[in-house]
Structure 1
Amino acid sequence: MEKSSMKILVTGANGFIGKNLITELKNRGYNDIFEYSRDMEISLLDTYCQKCEFVFHLAGVNRPQNQEEFMEGNFGFTSILLDLLKKHNNKATVMMSSSTQAALNNPYGRSKKAGEDLMISYSKETGAKVLVYRFTNVFGKWCRPNYNSVVATFCHNIANDLPIKVNDPDASMNLVYIDDVIVELINALKGKENRNGNFCEVSNTHTITLGEIAELIKSFKDSRKTLNVPNMANKFEKKLYSTYTSYLPIDQFSYPLKMNVDNRGSFTEIIRTMDRGQFSINIVKPGIIKGNHWHHTKNEKFLVLSGKGLIRFRKIGTEEIIDYYVSGDKMEVVDIPVGYTHNVINTGVTDLVIFMWANEPFNPEEPDTYFLEV
């Protein structure tokens, strides 16, 4: 854990980025944090501006009731902040949260551009270091849905069985993940900001269409039925799935699985992937034998979680039987090689519970499973 006595001011402390930043700063041992939100007294901000050694200026307005509030919130409050720093001759580094829309001619963009210009003038006047970040669409946990983030809205609505509206599925979006933003901001705190000309930026940007985002999130919801998990090798898909889970209704964290039950025990599939195989739980009743089959290409791993048992192998075309005694008292994985017929015998007095992995999901049209007693 990092330890620091640096006094850090965070404006917009209750906002999406602010909450994530403050939480991670505390995780890393930064405990002298001045948290300021616009509903607090300006006298408190004055005190903070006297003491702080670094400023994360994250406060802003992006969904006001009238357009005049854009300039008041994004330019006016920035002006107040900088005036208070000048009042106390505090030349702490100031990081400012701006937007890629600052390059556009709309009320929000113009207000952000005005804030940027003010920040640059402040730096020239005082010599203080300023870091202006033009963020694109930021997504991740704790972002308010049905407000100004399409990802948050889609995640919340799909998770809660509410409708979504995709105006243009081919519309391209550039997105950055909140954890990548926070890593960059903490690097900036240490003087290691990622610069691009006059501005700073998060290097890990993802480009994807609106329709693709919607379809991915729908597939996340369906995964509880299909048991398919997202492609974790795809960085964006991994981050989007993590975001989706943060919007699950609190009474729906759990979900049932289909247990295939007979007098021998049960078999329950947990997760399936197209490239990393299938994960299941196999329960064998006392005295029962399961298996007596072999595979050409399908291979498996067995891990006994509880109970006692015997796993037996015989190579096809030979007579020798190989015995492996297994128990939940010892965490030991047994590989099930191809070309060996095998079975599992519960030798104990309680259920034998086995966690199983197969290198491919079961396909009833090509099961690659051939009955043959060990």
Structure 2
Amino acid sequence: MKILLTGAEGFLGWHLRCRVHATSEHEIVPVGRAEWDRLAELVAGADAVIHVAGVNRASDDELVSLNVGLAQHLAAALATTSGVAVVFANSIQVGNGTAYAEGKAGAADVLRGVATRTGGRFVDVRLPNLFGEHGRPGYNSFVATFVDRVISNDRPDIADRPIELLHAQGAAQALLDALEPTSPETVQPSAHPTSVQQVWDLLERFHATYVPSADVPAMADDFERDLFNTYRAALFPDHYPLALTPRSDARGRLVETVRSHGQGGQTFVSTTVPGVTRGIHYHLHKIERFVVLDGEAVIRLRRMFHDEVVELPVSGKEPVVVDMPTMWSHDITNVGEGVLTTLFWTDSLFHPDAPDTIHEPVVPSAPQENP
């Protein structure tokens, strides 16, 4: 299926592109600000549109006019098509009387109308509060703001209240599910019940456990894992690698490479001959740790759909932890003269039917060895 995705450069758009790349054969036509004036050209031949682009920080008048205006521009491009499915990333705030809710409701009306006129389906996906890796503090989510504050050791004043949160990957899956012909016209994905204070307390516990010692904090469920991954993404790359403390005596040396306060996960060790690269993949949810025990290596990482490559030289002489941020392709290359010995740890057992390990070169033009 060929899917036109508006807002592809934004927080939810990036998560959706990662999910499509990892889990489907759909073709995404990304539309960002630079492509907005080419909508009529880009929508040609599309089977569906997922409209994620929107404005959530502006004056009240702009929240209405800009969100409706984006929908109108898209509707004008769709007017000459036939049978294109339209999926809209709406909000559960619709109906609460705010300008943002009015703008989203108006956008839904515009898109529903053009889908009806052109013989397409319209699905209104009403999303709850979202969080996830690479959200912008002060813009996308209070969770992104809390993550930024906890890393800065800057405790905010908190007005506690109950809240339901959905990780951006869950929202992305809901938007993809809405493409199915059997989807109802209105969809409201379920979310995790928590509170503002509980989110801060979890982040504070993660930070107190993880940064000083590289210990992996206990995580009770998928929500806490996703919140921990959101926190880790904000640490990368400035706070990595994380130092370990070797202990030596007359018998030799001991390095505690993984101290998990929750479940044990899976540990394995590999040897790699000089010049060979391992890894060459990314994960949507899995926590994966690399520790070089002997030899010299370079770990390279690239955030999906970005160009910049981060390189981290590591050595068995001074063991350190590098935990791979989710949705960053990563590899490790033996750059020394001898055999490289590396310990790998993941927080979950490998399941062949759901491996959460997606092949993707860190440097697309580089030779692809030993994925």
TM range (shorter): 0.5 to 0.7
Q: How does 1:140-289 map to 2 (within 5 A)?
A: 140-159=132-151, 161-168=152-159, 170-191=160-181, 193=183, 195=184, 198-203=185-190, 205-224=191-210, 225=212, 228-273=215-260, 276=263
Whichever of the two has the greater Rg, that structure is 1
Post-superposition shift, 1:243?
A: 1.2
Q: SS of 2:125's equivalent?
A: strand
Q: Distance in 2 between matches of 1:279 and 1:113?
A: 47
Residues 123 and 229 (structure 1 numbering): CA distance in 2 closer, same or farther, change over 3 Å?
A: same
RMSD: 3.0
Q: Distance in 2 between matches of 1:113 and 1:14?
A: 23
Task: Find the counterpart in structure 2 of residue 46 from structure 1.
Answer: 40
Post-superposition shift, 1:222?
A: 1.5
Residues 227 and 29 (structure 1 numbering): CA distance in 2 closer, same or farther, change over 3 Å?
A: closer
Q: Is the 8 A contact 1:158 1:221 kept in 2?
A: yes
Post-superposition shift, 1:256?
A: 1.9
Match of 1:104 among 60, 71, 96: 96
Residues 259 and 82 (structure 1 numbering): CA distance in 2 closer, same or farther, change over 3 Å?
A: same
Task: Find the counterpart in structure 2 of residue 23 from structure 1.
Answer: 18
Q: Is the 8 A contact 2:91 2:128 kept in 1?
A: yes
Post-superposition shift, 1:62?
A: 0.4
Q: How high is the TM-score relative to the length of structure 1?
A: 0.65
**Cα distance per residue 1:192-228 (max 9 Å; x no partner):** 54x4xx521223x111111111111111122233665
Q: Distance in 2 between matches of 1:78 and 1:101?
A: 18
Which fold has the larger relative contact order, with Cα–Cα distance below 8 Å and residues 6 or more apart in sequence? 2
Q: SS of 1:101's equivalent?
A: coil
Q: How high is the TM-score relative to the length of structure 2?
A: 0.65
Q: Distance in 1 between matches of 2:57 and 2:240?
A: 31
Number of positions where the alignment pairs a residue of Structure 1 with one of Structure 2: 272
Q: Distance in 2 between matches of 1:200 and 1:137?
A: 15
Q: Is the 8 A contact 1:166 1:210 kept in 2?
A: no
Post-superposition shift, 1:73?
A: 1.9
**Cα distance per residue 1:329-360 (max 9 Å; x no partner):** xxxxxxxxxxxxxxxxxxxxxxxx9x9xxxxx
Q: Is the 8 A contact 2:213 2:244 kept in 1?
A: no
Q: How does 1:281-360 map to 2 (within 5 A)?
A: none
Q: How does 1:29-68 map to 2 (within 5 A)?
A: 30=25, 32-42=27-37, 44-64=38-58, 66-68=59-61
In the alignment, residue 19 of structure 2 is paired with which amino acid?
Answer: E
Task: Find the counterpart in structure 2 of residue 117 from structure 1.
Answer: 109
Post-superposition shift, 1:257?
A: 2.6
Q: Is the 8 A contact 2:216 2:261 kept in 1?
A: no
Q: SS of 1:189's equivalent?
A: coil
Q: Percent identity?
A: 28
2:71 is aligned with 1:84: no
Q: Distance in 2 between matches of 1:277 and 1:176?
A: 26
Q: Is the 8 A contact 1:9 1:35 kept in 2?
A: yes
Q: Distance in 2 between matches of 1:141 and 1:92?
A: 31
Q: Is the 8 A contact 2:127 2:188 kept in 1?
A: yes
Q: SS of 2:178's equivalent?
A: helix
Post-superposition shift, 1:84?
A: 2.2
Q: Distance in 2 between matches of 1:128 and 1:150?
A: 36
